[in-house]
């Protein structure tokens, strides 16, 4: 009996060590960068007529249907679509047999029909902070609405951020944010994980209450004008450590893509109520005219899970849309959740890729702004 207890104790200690992230000496001196007084003193809400204009521009009322379905025992999730060398590619994640997420690549010539190419972030052989979770999303995407939809190189590389974790399952706490890069995003080969990972995690000195338990999906944009004083700006959602596990969206900034500091003392988008679990997550940033638009998904502060948006003049103060959801459950294959968006406009048509959960499992689906795009009935 003593040997069994000793074995269980050893297993518990190993699991705890894998789940935690060592605090580096440099982390002890970290401090949050406060929002600039000039921005906060001149904050202005986006008028309702402007919010309605954005809604009319981005809405996608026509559900095309499922475009990527997992194999036996496989969940697929989190589509990110981009253009490279004249073709369309989708970075997405898959969780086989509920072990953990790996990141995959698919290709298309028409944004409608997709072929899976293979994995680009796989479970590493070595143990570590990201042993069983590698859920990546695009960085440095062209955020101009209706723009090139390409991803920009920095330092001669294409970049992604990813949420990583050491435990098996479906996004088990804690999760941290890491970086990965490649020289060719159109090839299904393993991306290189940054040796200084994780770049953001819950044990750093500047962690804020809304992210004290886990850090989730992030989106990095390049702002060459440095409107906030930094060329690289990250938005991501985190989960607090209190009852309910509320998730909100906050910010971080960087001068070089690899060293990140938290920006602002608190979140920038949150939806209550505090009395129950609520999620505001998976931010995607675009720019429409003079407005920054953040697409994100909501869950449980209203029924089900759905996609919505917020708008800002200054990248910090956000006015949340209070009208109809951009997408919500309506079909058998998304009757539980219709969420985790990636939205682009190409040749006058808006394409809204999302994770659908219903009678086909967890799949990737598409809705568009055009009634003329009909799914092949085969």
Could you read off the pLDDT of 338-372 as tens digits, one per residue? 999 999 999 999 999 999 999 999 999 999 999 99
Residue 25's pLDDT band (cuts 50, 70, 90): very low
Is it the case that residue 158 has pLDDT exceeding 90?
A: yes
Q: What percentage of the chain has pLDDT greater than the value 90?
A: 88
- CB contact at 8 A, 308 and 326: yes
The confidence score (pLDDT) of residue 320 equals: 98
State the chain's mean pLDDT as an integer: 92
What pLDDT digit, counting tens, does each position of 299-341 carry?
Answer: 999 999 999 999 999 999 999 999 999 999 999 999 999 999 9
- The mean pLDDT of 118-122, rounded to a whole number, is 98
Residue 132's pLDDT band (cuts 50, 70, 90): very high
The per-residue DSSP string of 16-63 comes to HHHHS-PPPGGGGG--PBPPPHHHHHT--PPPHHHHHHHHHHH---EE
The confidence score (pLDDT) of residue 375 equals: 79
Is it the case that residue 9 has pLDDT exceeding 50?
A: no
- The mean pLDDT of 163-172, rounded to a whole number, is 97
In this prediction the pTM is: 0.93
Q: Which uninterrupted H or E stretch holds 297?
A: strand 291-299
Regarding predicted confidence, which is higher, 5 or 39? Answer: 39
What pLDDT digit, counting tens, does each position of 290-299 carry?
Answer: 999 999 999 9
Is it the case that residue 10 has pLDDT exceeding 60?
A: no
The confidence score (pLDDT) of residue 245 equals: 85
Distance in angstroms (rounded) separating the CA atoms of residues 366 and 344 = 11
Is it the case that residue 4 has pLDDT exceeding 70?
A: no
Q: Which of 188, 125, 132 is nearest to 163 (CA)?
A: 132
Residue 10 phi/psi, 5-degree rounding, is -60, -45
The confidence score (pLDDT) of residue 27 equals: 63
- CB contact at 8 A, 33 and 328: no
How crowded is residue 39: how many other Cβ atoms within 10 Å of its Cβ? 16
What pLDDT digit, counting tens, does each position of 183-222 carry?
Answer: 999 999 999 999 999 999 999 999 999 999 999 999 999 9
Distance in angstroms (rounded) separating the CA atoms of residues 348 and 135 = 31
**Six-digit token pair at 168?**
């098996």
- The mean pLDDT of 146-154, rounded to a whole number, is 98
Regarding predicted confidence, which is higher, 16 or 104? Answer: 104
Regarding predicted confidence, which is higher, 159 or 16? Answer: 159
Q: Could you tell me which CATH number the domain at 38-368 has?
A: 2.115.10.20
């Amino acid at each position: 009996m003593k040997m069994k207890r000793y074995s269980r104790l050893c297993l518990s200690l190993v699991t705890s060590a894998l789940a935690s992230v060592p605090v580096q000496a440099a982390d002890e001196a970290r401090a949050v960068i406060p929002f600039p007084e000039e921005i906060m003193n001149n904050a202005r809400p986006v008028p309702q007529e402007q919010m309605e204009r954005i809604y009319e521009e981005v809405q996608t009322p026509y559900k095309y249907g499922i475009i990527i379905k997992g194999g036996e025992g496989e969940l697929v999730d989190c589509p990110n679509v981009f253009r490279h060398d004249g073709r369309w590619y989708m970075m997405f994640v898959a969780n086989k047999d509920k072990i953990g997420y790996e990141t995959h690549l698919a290709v298309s010539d028409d944004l409608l029909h997709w072929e899976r190419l293979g994995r680009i972030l796989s479970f590493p052989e070595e143990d570590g902070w990201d042993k069983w979770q590698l859920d990546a999303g695009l960085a440095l995407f062209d955020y101009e609405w209706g723009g090139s939809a390409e991803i920009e190189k920095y330092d001669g590389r294409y970049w992604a951020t990813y949420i990583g974790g050491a435990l098996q399952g479906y996004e088990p706490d804690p999760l941290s944010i890491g970086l990965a890069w490649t020289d060719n995003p159109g090839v299904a080969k393993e991306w290189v994980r940054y040796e200084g990972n994780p770049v953001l995690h819950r044990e750093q000195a500047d962690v804020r209450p809304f992210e004290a338990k886990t850090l989730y999906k992030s989106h990095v944009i390049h702002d060459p004008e440095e409107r906030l004083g930094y060329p690289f700006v990250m938005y991501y959602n985190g989960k607090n450590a209190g009852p309910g596990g509320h998730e909100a969206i906050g910010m971080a900034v960087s001068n070089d893509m690899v060293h990140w500091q938290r920006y602002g003392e608190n979140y920038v988008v949150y939806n209550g109520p505090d009395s129950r679990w609520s999620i505001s997550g998976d931010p995607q940033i675009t720019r429409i005219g003079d407005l920054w638009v953040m697409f994100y998904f909501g869950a449980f502060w209203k029924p089900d899970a759905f996609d919505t948006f917020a708008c800002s003049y200054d990248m910090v103060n956000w006015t949340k849309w209070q009208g109809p959801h951009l997408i919500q459950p309506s079909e058998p294959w998304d009757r539980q959740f219709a969420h985790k968006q990636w939205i682009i406009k190409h040749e006058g048509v808006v394409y809204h890729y999302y994770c659908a959960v219903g009678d086909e499992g967890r799949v990737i689906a598409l809705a568009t702004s055009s009634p003329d795009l009909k799914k092949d009935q085969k």
